[in-house]
Chain A
Amino acid sequence: MTEPAVQVTDLVKRYGELEAVRGIDFAVEPGETFGFLGPNGAGKSTTIKILCTLAHPTSGSARVAGHDVVRDKDTVRRNIGLVFQDPTLDSYLTGEQNLRFHADLYGVPRAQLAARMKLVLDMVNLWDRRNAEVATYSGGMKRRLEIARGLLHAPRVLFLDEPTVGLDPQTRTSIWEYINDLKQREDITIFLTTHYMDEAEHCDRIAIIDHGQIVAIDTPENLKASIGKDRVQIATADDQEAIRELKERFDLEAAVHDGLVTFSVASGEQFVPRLFTELTLPIRSVHVARPSLDDVFMSYTGRTIRDTEATAGDRNRAHMMAFRRGR
């Protein structure tokens, strides 16, 4: 019997008045890549902090790699690797010195250290730069070194808290290549948080978290399917006639958007052949779009993730201005 890599039961975390996490339950299977998707302040980081034994839950329980995060803190710590949002490297030390420090803290046997170090540094393409001071590394290299360090002690669960935040798009892509490669090579469970929709697509399963609660949890495919309809857009010679015919023959409400006749239908791909046979009008082109995770997030939370970010941004700006005035 395999027990879950992460098992969370009715987890609550309160900071004074603020309820950051309001009773969440989920399990992550060994070998899975599991993503926590939500806007900033949704409770992602608080949950990850509890799972990494950095914060005590107010109530409920969490087990990681089969051990309770409160009672069996050190065992949990030995079995997890962590890559935080903010860098946690000593930039005055070299890449290799940073790894050695980690190896000693985690008790990696000295006999295995050299081979293991070579392996993780090769994995993130930093072997050649191992003797350079971390201060000379680029943002992407630092993040890669952190991933290598997180893997050094062969953890069973790797936590990545916003692994690509603050990196440029190319570097983000390359970080994901490393993570995907890692899934192939190491026997490991990956738990990550993100507020980028496209990154959530890399996960086997995702949980959408909003206001401290999980509002949906499933594979990206199923989540997208759960909101049902695909969006179909067709170009015809006579749009008004097409709309009338769609209503008449298929009982579909269509409208013209972006110069195309647009309507929603369940499993759009299967609908297209019927469209060609039953519609009398000639069709010049068809475009079927599956729902995106943006649509999924929207349907579960009533707003897009960018809306929530924008309001948070406005709040920060207002705060900054108040701060400046105060000075």
Chain B
Amino acid sequence: MAVPTTRQHAGTEPDSGSVTEAIRVSVPGSGLRQDLRAVNIVWSREILRFKSDRLRAITSLVQPVLFLFVLGTGLSSLASHGLPPGVNFRTYLYPGVLSMSVLFTAIFSAASIVWDREFGFLREMLVAPVSRSAIVIGKCLGGATVSTFQGIIILALAGLAGVPYNPVLILTVIGELLLLSFTLTAFGVMMAARITQMQAFMALTQMLVMPLFFLSGALYPLRALPVWLTVLTRFDPLTYAVYPMRYAVFSYLHVSPAAAVALLPSLTWAGWAVPVGLSLGIVAVMGAGLLVLAIAQFQRTE
């Protein structure tokens, strides 16, 4: 057996005298550019998977549509007493349903890590010579893109809920959806780092997702609640994502100025009104924190 006297090391120029010259590839050393390429491919894969899975895109529309049109219409005669005249309950529910669709899609995207582990593909990613953070960031960006896209489909239904198609409003909401879905995917990925079985992951996330949703004020105003519920809603991270979205939607409604004032939501801490910017800041900081935690979880080696 021929043992070559000079071996080509990764990162050096190809050895022109080598017999296998034609098929020699020189793999570059690690670096930011390499990590970005990894982020990009992990992200692209999520989108590719989503595109080829039309069934998922359709089925995940069922729940928001049910909430918006069935629950929203069914409850409107009851709920309209609390709303200014000319405002439909569906309109009220709309920002909450947007957050809900993102909530479910983002967690489901993160669940793909559990599948990837079960089918072995996670290993292919974890043994690659790229930093684990590149993989986790790619995954979170992928999940955020896919669930924002899902949110955009709901956004297309805005007219049916009495929400105007204002470009500024739409861009604002898309931005907020992106932020929320990134944070939620990071949360899901962090959970998926440790939970190796799909059933366990689904059971645990269901147990967390429903309370998160119900306590977020997606379905009811955060004013004049009993103390215990007020406290719980303020501890729900999702509250801080639903509030800016509702604020944006309600600012653009075609209603009388009096109705607009009555309708604008408020989020208070012991009587102090939390600014929308701070609320978004809280979501962003949480997203960053969860991302760091998720990366830390994936950096552990046996």
Given contacts A84-B120, A187-B4, contact A106 B48 (CB under 8 A): no
Q: Does B28 have its Cβ within 8 Å of any Cβ on chain A? A: yes
Q: Which residues of chain B in 47-66 are interfacial with respect to chain A, using CB atoms and an 8 Å cutoff?
A: 48-49, 52-53
Surface stretch bound by B, among A111-119, A173-181, A310-318: A111-119
Distance (whole angstroms) from the CB of A315 to the closest CB of chain B: 23
Distance (whole angstroms) from the CB of A12 to the closest CB of chain B: 14
Chain A neighbourhood of B38, CB < 8 A: 104-105
Q: Does B127 have its Cβ within 8 Å of any Cβ on chain A? A: yes
Q: Which residues of chain A in 40-93 are interfacial with respect to chain B, using CB atoms and an 8 Å cutoff?
A: 49, 52-56, 66, 74-75, 77-79, 82, 84, 86-93
For the complex, what is the distance from the CA of A93 to the CA of B116, rounded to whole Å?
A: 13
Q: Number of residues in A with C-beta < 8 Å to the partner?
A: 48
Q: Does B168 have its Cβ within 8 Å of any Cβ on chain A? A: no
Decide if A104 touches B37 in the complex (CB within 8 Å).
yes
Chain B neighbourhood of A238, CB < 8 A: none
Decide if A54 touches B19 in the complex (CB within 8 Å).
no
Decide if B10 touches A56 in the complex (CB within 8 Å).
no
Distance (whole angstroms) from the CB of A219 to the closest CB of chain B: 12
Given contacts A87-B119, A88-B123, contact A54 B302 (CB under 8 A): yes
Chain B neighbourhood of A108, CB < 8 A: 25, 27
Decide if B27 touches A187 in the complex (CB within 8 Å).
no
Distance (whole angstroms) from the CB of B260 to the closest CB of chain A: 48
Surface stretch bound by B, among A28-36, A245-253, A286-294: A28-36
Q: Does A102 have its Cβ within 8 Å of any Cβ on chain B? A: yes
For the complex, what is the distance from the CA of A78 to the CA of B130, rounded to whole Å?
A: 9
Q: Does B171 have its Cβ within 8 Å of any Cβ on chain A? A: no
Which listed residue (A66, A77, A100, A107) contacts B28, Cβ 8 A? A107
Which listed residue (A74, A102, A185) contacts B124, Cβ 8 A? A102
Q: Which of B10, B28, B45 has the most CB of A within 10 A?
A: B10
Q: Does B77 have its Cβ within 8 Å of any Cβ on chain A? A: no
Decide if A2 touches B5 in the complex (CB within 8 Å).
yes
Decide if A88 touches B3 in the complex (CB within 8 Å).
no
Q: Which residues of chain B in 243-297 are interfacial with respect to chain A, using CB atoms and an 8 Å cutoff?
A: none
Distance (whole angstroms) from the CB of B121 to the closest CB of chain A: 5
Given contacts A56-B301, A78-B129, contact A109 B123 (CB under 8 A): no
Decide if A90 touches B121 in the complex (CB within 8 Å).
yes
Distance (whole angstroms) from the CB of A99 to the closest CB of chain B: 11
Decide if A109 touches B128 in the complex (CB within 8 Å).
no
Interface SS of chain B: loop
Decide if A106 touches B27 in the complex (CB within 8 Å).
yes
Chain B residue with the shortest CB-CB distance to A55 = B302
Q: Does B26 have its Cβ within 8 Å of any Cβ on chain A? A: yes
Chain B neighbourhood of A54, CB < 8 A: 123, 126-127, 301-302
Q: Does A153 have its Cβ within 8 Å of any Cβ on chain B? A: yes
Decide if A101 touches B302 in the complex (CB within 8 Å).
no
Decide if B27 touches A153 in the complex (CB within 8 Å).
yes
Q: Which residues of chain A in 284-322 are interfacial with respect to chain B, using CB atoms and an 8 Å cutoff?
A: none
Q: Which of B29, B128, B301 has the most CB of A within 10 A?
A: B128
Q: Which of A55, A104, A109 has the most CB of B within 10 A?
A: A104
Chain A residue with the shortest CB-CB distance to B35 = A107
Given contacts A2-B3, A53-B127, A187-B20, contact A109 B121 (CB under 8 A): no
Which listed residue (B20, B34, B128) contacts A186, Cβ 8 A? B20
For the complex, what is the distance from the CA of A88 to the CA of B127, rounded to whole Å?
A: 11
Q: Does A201 have its Cβ within 8 Å of any Cβ on chain B? A: no
For the complex, what is the distance from the CA of A93 to the CA of B53, rounded to whole Å?
A: 11
Which listed residue (A78, A84, A87, A156) contacts B7, Cβ 8 A? A156
Decide if A105 touches B125 in the complex (CB within 8 Å).
yes
Chain A neighbourhood of B208, CB < 8 A: none
Chain B neighbourhood of A78, CB < 8 A: 10, 27, 29-30, 129
Starting from the known contacts A75-B10, A92-B53, A105-B130, 9 additional A-B residue pairs (CB-CB under 8 Å) come to: A53-B301, A54-B126, A78-B27, A82-B127, A88-B119, A105-B41, A106-B129, A153-B27, A187-B20
Ranked nearest first, the 7 interchain pairs of A and B with the lowest CB-CB distance are A104-B41, A77-B129, A105-B128, A88-B120, A55-B302, A78-B129, A88-B124
Interface, chain A (partner B; CB < 8 A): 2, 29-32, 49, 52-56, 66, 74-75, 77-79, 82, 84, 86-93, 97, 100-102, 104-109, 112, 115-116, 119, 153-154, 156, 185-187, 204
- List 14 A-B residue pairs with CB atoms under 8 Å apart, sorted by A's residue number: A2-B4, A31-B3, A54-B301, A77-B127, A88-B123, A91-B119, A93-B49, A101-B124, A107-B28, A108-B25, A109-B28, A115-B22, A154-B24, A187-B18
Interface, chain B (partner A; CB < 8 A): 1-5, 7, 9-10, 18-20, 22-30, 34, 37-38, 40-41, 45, 48-49, 52-53, 116, 119-121, 123-130, 301-302
